[in-house]
Amino acid sequence: MSKRSLFVLLSLAFAASCEQASAPPEPVADTPTRPTFSLATDEAYDFNRIPAYLESHQAVYDYIDNNLDDHLAAIQRWLRQPSISAQNVGIHEMAEMVRQDLEDMGFAEAEIVPTDGHPGVWGYYDAGADKTLVVYLMYDVQPVNPEDWRSPPFDAEVVNHPLGKVIMARGATNQKGPQRAFLNALESIIAVDGTLPVNIMVTAEGEEELGSPNYPQIVDAYEDRLKTADAALFPFNSQRPDGTVSVILGVKGILYFEVIASGGEWGGPARAEIHGSFKAIVDSPVWRLVQGLSTLVSEDGNTILVPNYYDDIRPPNVEESQLINAGIEQWSDQQMQAMLGVGQWIDGKTGKDAAIEYLFSTTLNIDGIWGGYTGEGVKTILPHRAAAKVDSRLPPDIDPDEALAKIRQHLDNQGFGDLEIVKLSGYPASQTSVDAPAVQAALSVFKKYTGNLAVQPRIAGSAPFYQFTDRLGLPLVPSGMGFGTGAHAPNEIMLVEPAKGTAAAGLADIEKAYVDFVYALAE
């Protein structure tokens, strides 16, 4: 049975209490103002109440220690197979490698899943267990510029690093390393026990780096069965070098669209750019774009002026407030601003105020804008077309299509019906309760290996995790022990053997923690 019901009950309960405790958004008659939020409680979440996982599976741990070279080799085998989705390099070979590995491990079902894009992989391990874990895998990686790498990106050599021995390769940490480590953990349990304590459903996609456009098709094919599972895991190197395990419980949704201005019957050049001197008698699509966009936000760019855009935003509930109170010490304006190269936050906010704004507010951001001549020097044209890419980050309870409809209506009302809107992406927020049993199981395991937990109710970024939480009704644990860095960059690494003084786990402990998590989930 799904955990969804518990999750929903918890969420509803918290939402109900917060409505009384927090300051509501301040509505103003004509000009929208940006809502400000306060927390529902001053209490901090008490992680002490979560016991460290006490069980020991010594035979499995020994198996891992005795076979660590083979486990490392399995990771290297995955990393040495290029699988660059954007360039269609090695995709089918990698999909088949994943499928074959599952079959070799004893998965009763191990199938390639055709999609409109790169194929997916489905696997089902039937342990005859009560509980079932859905494991999300991505087998694709980002492109590389090999000349920028210290060790060739598909050699997957173990090299020395200040933190210890690391595997350097494209995909080392994003995500082949931690994913194959998780499968190593499963293999070890099977080798010792002959089976697993939970059933496993694997959904693997080869287009995560392209924005997962066809992942929903993979879910489509197994939706009824996936809904019967108990939890979902995204194996992930979530540790920081100091050993702290970062657990992200939620993400914002996103609406992403283009606003396009073109010449047409209303005026402006329709076919192609024309000589700039015609501006004297010809309308300009670029000016229309600029004027239309300018009506969407306040002069400082920070308050959305689309009527009712903020209406459905809710303030932090009790659980979220407790988690923020527990984690706010780790929020450093100074460090973040230095990292980002930003002089100050909007309106000079700092500390908890900035953190709440960051996590709970919706946004309207121009990702890109273009039109006409953008090269060096002088060229005088009146462009026939200009466009902007705009995104809006959506906190829980905001529907992307409703948000888009409000923007369309606003532009129409302001006289910008000539501006075209093309939606490129849109999905809602996703959140798992810290009290979901799968999350509690993970946290208890992490506490066994390290004292430090950093649990966030949400990040301000977006991921289509609603596929798990909302569509399938599963709590999602996008976490694991282990440290890696360099995703999407040269010299990507995953730590496999920490040096003295490095608190993050090595490969053996990463796998042992996954072993514990699977057993904990079964309880």
The CA distance from 195 to 172, in Å, is: 28
Q: Are 85 and 207 in contact (CB under 8 A)?
A: yes
The CA distance from 416 to 409, in Å, is: 10
> For residues 102 and 289, which CB has a smaller minimum distance to its own copies in the complex?
289
Q: How far is the CB of 297 from its own copies (least distance, A)?
A: 6
Q: Are 432 and 6 in contact (CB under 8 A)?
A: no
Q: How far is the CB of 396 from its own copies (least distance, A)?
A: 14
DSSP per-residue codes, 63-92? HHHHTHHHHHHHHHHHHHS--BGGGTBSHH
Closest by Cα among 137, 60, 52 to 512: 60
Q: Are 246 and 454 in contact (CB under 8 A)?
A: yes
The CA distance from 5 to 2, in Å, is: 7
> For residues 19 and 266, which CB has a smaller minimum distance to its own copies in the complex?
266
Nearby residues of 86 by Cβ (< 8 Å), 6 or more positions away: 142, 143, 209, 210
Q: How far is the CB of 142 from its own copies (least distance, A)?
A: 13
> For residues 196 and 296, which CB has a smaller minimum distance to its own copies in the complex?
296
What's CA 221's distance to the chain center, in Å? 23
The CA distance from 381 to 23, in Å, is: 51
Q: How far is the CB of 18 from its own copies (least distance, A)?
A: 20
> For residues 347 and 399, which CB has a smaller minimum distance to its own copies in the complex?
347
AA letter at 332: S
Q: How far is the CB of 414 from its own copies (least distance, A)?
A: 8
> For residues 75 and 304, which CB has a smaller minimum distance to its own copies in the complex?
304
Q: How far is the CB of 101 from its own copies (least distance, A)?
A: 31
Q: How far is the CB of 446 from its own copies (least distance, A)?
A: 25
> For residues 394 and 493, which CB has a smaller minimum distance to its own copies in the complex?
394
Give how far Cα 432 sits from Cα of 126, 272, 394, Å: 26, 50, 16
> For residues 192 and 274, which CB has a smaller minimum distance to its own copies in the complex?
274
User: Phi and psi dihedrals of 522, rounded to 5?
Assistant: -70, -20
The CA distance from 101 to 489, in Å, is: 28
> For residues 263 and 327, which CB has a smaller minimum distance to its own copies in the complex?
263
The CA distance from 254 to 450, in Å, is: 34
**3-state class (DSSP) for residue 112:** strand
Q: How far is the CB of 320 from its own copies (least distance, A)?
A: 15
The CA distance from 233 to 65, in Å, is: 24
> For residues 101 and 391, which CB has a smaller minimum distance to its own copies in the complex?
391
Q: How far is the CB of 39 from its own copies (least distance, A)?
A: 16
Between 318-327 and 4-21, two packed helices, what is the crossing angle to 10 degrees?
A: 80
> For residues 81 and 262, which CB has a smaller minimum distance to its own copies in the complex?
262
> For residues 302 and 440, which CB has a smaller minimum distance to its own copies in the complex?
302
Nearby residues of 188 by Cβ (< 8 Å), 6 or more positions away: 60, 63, 64, 67, 511, 515
Q: How far is the CB of 300 from its own copies (least distance, A)?
A: 7
Q: How far is the CB of 8 from its own copies (least distance, A)?
A: 5
Longest dimension (CA), the chain: 83
Q: Are 358 and 393 in contact (CB under 8 A)?
A: no
